[in-house]
Amino acid sequence: MIVAERKELEEIKEMVEPYDRILILGCNTCATIRLYGGEKECEKLSIELGDVFKDKKISYKVVERQCEQEFLEDEAVKKEIEENDCVLSMSCSIGPQTVVEIYPNSIAVPAQNTSFIGRAVEHGIFQERCALCGDCIIDETFGLCPIARCAKSLMNGPCGGSHDGKCEVDPERDCVWQLIYDRASRLGRIDDLLGIIEVKDWSNGMHGTRKEVKHV
Amino acid sequence: MSDLEEALKKGFTVTGEVGPVKGTSTESLIKKTLAIKDYVSAVNVTDNQTAVMRLSSLASCLVIQREGIETVLQMTCRDRNRIAMQSDLLGAWALGIRNVLAISGDHQYLGDHPQAKGVYDIDSIQEIAMIRRMNEGYDLIGNELKGKTDYFIGCAANPFADPFEFRALRLQKKVNAGAQFVQTQCVFDADLFEKWMEEVRARGLDKKVHILAGITPLKSARMANYMATNVAGIKMPKQLIERVEKSDDQKKTGVEVAKELIGEVKNIKGVDGIHIMAVGWERIIPSLFD
């Protein structure tokens, strides 16, 4: 799931300030399950903004998925987007980008800082598990991703800052190389870690090439 | 062959370390270097140590080498991608640098520019392998170099970080990648260090890589406490902190402790020398050899 965190109200206020009619657009998939941009959160933000901007028309609507064209092209959604000056998207950053691609005359701004893709480690707590690097190596690291979960993305860790199983950058964060070592140890395969993981091909990731997958 | 490699081949070797300042002033760099020059075979120059932005390691190395002493260029993976690293390594060789220390580097979040984007394109082990390749005359993807490097390749090792059992194995990876010498994290607990060395010897690494034990003279109990609690991967015995705390002359006790540690690590099989990290207290180094 894609995990995001709502921006501070101050920042959102600045983004929507120039517009009179604001449509808060929620998303029923990751944003709802991850509790950042579903109906409840849209309603809450509309009240907060309504308190600040008494003269603006603020409404909200939730679509099934903002990452898919068909849900944004729905007639009722189309009408609302066209009737408002600004779409304040509550989805991950795919949402506002899809809105402006489909409706070139529209303005769409993000209410969220899209953080990572990850999973719920316990109820309501989400952790990153994938950095979308485009060159997966977790077969060599016992199923745990050091690119996403090591502060330095070390492919041959751990660095000298691993302490009591935690990371020197953030003592609340697990040192993924400790976890990798623990798994290797449990499986009796510590010497597998002697192999050097070679330099990575980042060109499949966020470094210039087109990221497009065709499922046709 | 670099002076450092030659010294290590001859016998017990001492190296020092200096950190550049934030700014263009090289005065303190030269002063610190001159203070230790007669006691060390080479001076290691840190690369934006503790992730605090400073005068570059390469520029500082050149300034120091003008004083007639060889340097070890530190190069972290934090601030440069593979293109910049190789380019700087070629440049450093062309300008007379003969030793390099490959390290991942302190994380940018812990320094003075915590908002910075970290690079970490490659890691320190991959960096070692990359430098070995450059020594063979090729860049990382196999293009031939017009004029190759011949660096004496160093790495760091922290015997005291977790998981302890993995530490010697990780050094083995570095040696397999091409590391020829290693500087360890500061040793304050010689017994624990010896425990790590046992593992190192069991893997035959003492025969393959020159090992320099890290030594830091403690200036005060405050410094001891700070290092014990704030520097990752430092293991400092409580008795040692207490000994400095109770002393009437903490500096003197700090020097005594360092001298004792030097004596202890000298006797450990497989240790080829010491690397002194005086962190600003370089002028004390001569008294470690009284």
Extents of the domains making up chain A: 2-115, 131-204
Host H or E run for residue A110? strand A108-110
Whether the CB of B176 is below 8 Å from some CB of chain A: the reply is yes
pLDDT of residue B12: 97
Chain A closest-CA separation from residue B229 CA (Å): 11
- Integer Cα distance of B197 and B211 in angstroms: 10
> A125 or B11: whose pLDDT is higher?
B11
Q: How far is CA B275 from CA B41, B194, B279, in A?
A: 10, 16, 12
Contacts of A44 (CB under 8 A, 6+ apart): none
Mean confidence (pLDDT) of chain B: 96
Cβ–Cβ under 8 Å, residues B263 and B288: no
Host H or E run for residue B246? helix B238-246
Q: Is the CATH code 3.20.20.220 the one for domain B3-218+271-281?
A: yes
Q: How far is CA A36 from CA A52, A126, B87, in A?
A: 21, 12, 45
pTM for this entry: 0.91
pLDDT digits (tens, 9 = 90+) for B135-181: 999 999 999 999 999 999 999 999 999 999 999 999 999 999 999 99
pLDDT of residue B280: 83
Cβ–Cβ under 8 Å, residues B119 and B77: yes
Angle ∠(B83,B87,B91) on CA atoms, nearest 5: 170
- Integer Cα distance of A199 and B86 in angstroms: 14
Whether the CB of B162 is below 8 Å from some CB of chain A: the reply is yes
Does A154 sit within 8 Å of B232, measured CB to CB? Answer: no
Please report the beta strands in B236-272, taking only residues with DSSP state E, as ranges in sequence order: none
Q: State the CB neighbour count (10 A cutoff) for residue A143.
A: 10
Domain boundaries defined on chain B: 3-218+271-281
Write down the residue that tokens 């017994």 correspond to: B191
B74 Cα distance to chain centroid: 8
SS3 at position A193: helix
Superfamily of domain A2-115: Response regulator (3.40.50.2300)
Contacts of B70 (CB under 8 A, 6+ apart): B2, B3, B4, B41, B42, B43, B98, B99
Chain B closest-CA separation from residue A11 CA (Å): 19
Q: Which residues of B touch A154 (CB under 8 A)?
A: 104, 120, 123-124
pLDDT digits (tens, 9 = 90+) for B39-96: 999 999 999 999 999 999 999 999 999 999 999 999 999 999 999 999 999 999 999 9
ipTM, two decimals = 0.93
Q: State the CB neighbour count (10 A cutoff) for residue A136.
A: 13
For residue B186, give the chain A residue with the closest CA.
A160
Whether the CB of A186 is below 8 Å from some CB of chain B: the reply is no
- Integer Cα distance of B190 and B274 in angstroms: 13
For residue B120, give the chain A residue with the closest CA.
A152
- In B, residues 197-236, which contact A (CB 8 Å cutoff)? 232-233
Contacts of B38 (CB under 8 A, 6+ apart): B286
Q: State the CB neighbour count (10 A cutoff) for residue A81.
A: 22
Nearest to B101 by CA among B67, B117, B77: B77
pLDDT digits (tens, 9 = 90+) for B97-147: 999 999 999 999 999 999 999 999 999 999 999 999 999 999 999 999 999
Render each residue's pLDDT in chain A as its tens digit; 216 residues.
Answer: 898 999 999 999 999 999 999 999 999 998 888 788 999 999 999 999 999 999 999 999 999 999 999 999 999 999 999 999 999 999 999 999 999 999 999 999 999 999 888 888 888 888 899 998 888 899 999 999 999 999 999 999 999 999 999 999 999 999 999 999 999 999 999 999 999 999 999 988 777 777 777 777
Q: Check pLDDT > 90 for residue B230.
A: no
